[in-house]
């Protein structure tokens, strides 16, 4: 396996030569037109196949309603012209917030979310035209073991996971969330979904990725004497029952899921992981889960991998890790290839569902060509970008207008946005938007 390298490609030939050297399949198409085609989705028509991924901004007001920077960010995303804007992880309970400034949707914050949707829609229509409506999805979440509602760890766990427990300082006697509380939490997701519809969102996503609570439940094989642990039908119960209740009870709302299909944690503590080798995926259970989701009418799945606080490169191949982070022993193109390959396997297994692919930001100006080839081959329906959208919110509109991306605007995968989030600061691009976002300087040490 080739070691880690930074992005250094100036031509298609150099880029594809490296992929060939690594022995990974990275498709490439000169014609990117398929990305700009309209596409039907759950009774709606997207103006193109491009998606802004959900990314926490840590810029909400104290009551969980959108702050000034939240409005700025989503107006820029919508004005950027992507067909689908997937709004960030929004807590459904106070104890489910990953930081004090995470968005929370509840009765008192509902008006703020309504204004956010209105302003974002207006910005999108101004750029795309009044007849082109983007689709807005709101991600609903409980942060689980990563909860820090007051800025200090306050983990809510569904299982004990030795590697994560050790990394986060969770003691072995820390109690698990009980079944009754999980039953009540389902109701909070349903209430938040109804509020999202009132605010004007087209749909909601039940976040089941990155080790947060619903994702934690999917891996809770060691959870005993529980309706939510052990066999896959129990571990998937929370997600399936909550999604079905929302579909049945909140009419006119698209219900979907950002699903982590491979955690990379050793079995039995990881979802989608080979029993004998955590470096290998086993999509048997993820496919069974997606089949169950399709059975209740879910038609949109946003694929993700890994747990950012554990091995972030599985979901976000990068040039530089956060300070203190580990440089992986694989080339970033290996990580990109894994993301493309697993999404493709799922899209081919469920051709009637729409899968959102991920892992494109590291490819910089070449991403549209790789993405177009992926869609042409039937290996994804939509193409999502997260870090790229923070750095270059106009990427979709400029692709439509110019046929290419500006190399001086693309994301450099420097992990600066991740550093901001881990520091509890509002999240944005420290390179392309440095007038707004800066890494805080360390506090000077007190003199003795």
Looking at residue 440, its pLDDT comes to 82
Considering the domain delimited by 12-422, tell me its CATH architecture: Alpha-Beta Barrel (3.20)
Domain ranges of the chain: 12-422
Statement: residue 442 has pLDDT above 70: no
- For residue 306, what are the CA distances in angstroms to 204, 212, 428? 22, 11, 22
Q: What angle do CA 382, 241, 272 make, to 5 degrees?
A: 55
Residue 447 has pLDDT above 70, yes or no: no
Mean pLDDT of 393-410: 97
Q: What's the CA gap between 35 and 381, in Å, rounded?
A: 9
**Given this model, what pLDDT does residue 132 score?**
80
Confidence label for 445 from pLDDT (cuts 50, 70 and 90): low
What is the percent of the chain with per-residue pLDDT over 70, rounded to a whole number? 98
pLDDT at 443: 57
Q: Is the pLDDT score of 441 beyond 80?
A: no
Kindly state the average pLDDT of the residues 266-272: 97
Q: Is 297 a residue whose pLDDT tops 50?
A: yes
Q: Is the model's pLDDT at 289 over the cut of 50?
A: yes
What confidence tens digit (pLDDT) does each residue in 181-218 have?
Answer: 999 999 999 999 999 999 999 999 999 999 999 999 99
Say if strands 39-41 and 44-46 run parallel, antiparallel, or are unpaired.
Answer: antiparallel
Structure confidence by residue, pLDDT tens digits, 312-327 = 999 999 999 999 999 9
- pLDDT of 113-125, one tens digit each? 999 999 999 999 9
CB < 8 Å & 24+ apart, contacts of 409-413: 410/364, 410/365, 411/361, 411/364, 411/387, 412/7, 412/319, 412/364, 413/7, 413/316, 413/317, 413/318, 413/319, 413/320, 413/332, 413/361, 413/362, 413/387
pLDDT of 446: 41
pLDDT > 60? residue 109: yes
> Given this model, what pLDDT does residue 176 score?
98
Q: What's the pLDDT band for 448 if we cut at 50, 70, 90?
A: very low
Q: pLDDT tens digit string along 126-182?
A: 999 877 889 999 999 999 999 999 999 999 999 999 999 999 999 999 999 999 999
Q: Spell out the alpha helix ranges (H) of 24-171.
A: 68-79, 110-128, 162-168
For the segment 241-250, what is each residue's pLDDT rounded down to a tens digit?
A: 999 999 999 9
- Local confidence band at 444 (pLDDT 50, 70, 90 cut-offs): low
Of the pLDDT bands very low, low, confident and very high (cuts 50, 70, 90), residue 256 is very high
**pLDDT at residue 1 greater than cutoff 90:** no
**Is 130 or 99 the better-scoring residue by pLDDT?**
99
**Alpha helices by DSSP H, 36-81:** 68-79
Q: Mean of the pLDDT values across residues 26-48?
A: 95
């Amino acid at each position: 396996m080739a070691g880690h390298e930074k992005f250094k490609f100036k031509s298609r030939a150099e880029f594809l030569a490296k992929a060939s050297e690594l022995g990974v399949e990275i498709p490439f198409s000169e014609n990117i037109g398929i990305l700009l085609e309209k596409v039907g989705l759950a009774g709606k028509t997207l103006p193109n196949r491009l998606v802004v991924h959900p990314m926490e901004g840590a810029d909400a007001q104290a009551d969980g309603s959108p702050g000034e920077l939240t409005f700025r960010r989503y107006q820029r995303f919508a004005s950027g012209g992507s067909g689908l804007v997937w709004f960030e992880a929004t807590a459904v309970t106070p104890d489910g917030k990953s930081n004090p400034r995470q968005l929370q949707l509840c009765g008192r914050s509902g008006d703020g979310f309504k204004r956010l949707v209105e302003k974002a829609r207006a910005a999108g229509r101004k750029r795309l035209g009044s007849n082109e409506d983007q689709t807005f999805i709101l991600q609903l979440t409980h942060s689980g073991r990563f909860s820090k509602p007051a800025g200090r760890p306050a983990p809510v766990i569904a299982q004990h996971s030795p590697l994560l427990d050790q990394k986060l300082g969770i003691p072995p006697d820390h109690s698990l969330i009980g079944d009754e509380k999980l039953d009540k939490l389902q109701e909070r997701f349903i209430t938040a979904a109804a509020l999202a519809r009132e605010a004007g969102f087209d749909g909601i996503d039940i976040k089941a990725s990155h080790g947060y609570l619903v994702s934690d439940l999917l891996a809770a094989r060691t959870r005993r004497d529980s309706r939510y642990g052990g066999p896959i039908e129990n571990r998937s119960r929370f997600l399936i029952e909550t999604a079905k209740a929302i579909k049945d009870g909140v009419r006119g709302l698209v219900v979907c899921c950002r699903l982590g299909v491979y955690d990379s944690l050793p079995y039995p503590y990881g979802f989608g992981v080979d029993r004998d080798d955590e470096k290998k995926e086993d999509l048997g259970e993820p496919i069974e889960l997606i089949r169950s989701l399709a059975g209740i009418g879910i038609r949109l799945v946003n694929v993700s991998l890994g747990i950012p606080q554990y091995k972030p490169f599985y979901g976000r191949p990068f040039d530089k890790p956060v300070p203190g982070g580990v440089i992986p022993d694989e080339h970033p193109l290996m990580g990109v290839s894994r993301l493309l390959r697993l999404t493709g396997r799922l899209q081919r297994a469920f051709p009637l569902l729409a899968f959102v692919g991920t892992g494109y930001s590291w490819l910089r100006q070449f991403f549209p060509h790789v993405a177009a080839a992926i869609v042409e081959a039937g290996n994804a329906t939509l193409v999502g970008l997260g870090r790229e959208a923070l750095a270059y919110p106009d990427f979709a509109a400029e692709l439509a207008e110019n046929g290419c991306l500006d190399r001086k605007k693309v994301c450099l995968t420097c992990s600066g946005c991740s550093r901001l989030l881990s520091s509890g600061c509002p999240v944005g691009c420290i390179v392309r938007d440095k007038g707004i976002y800066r890494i805080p300087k360390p506090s000077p040490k007190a003199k003795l």
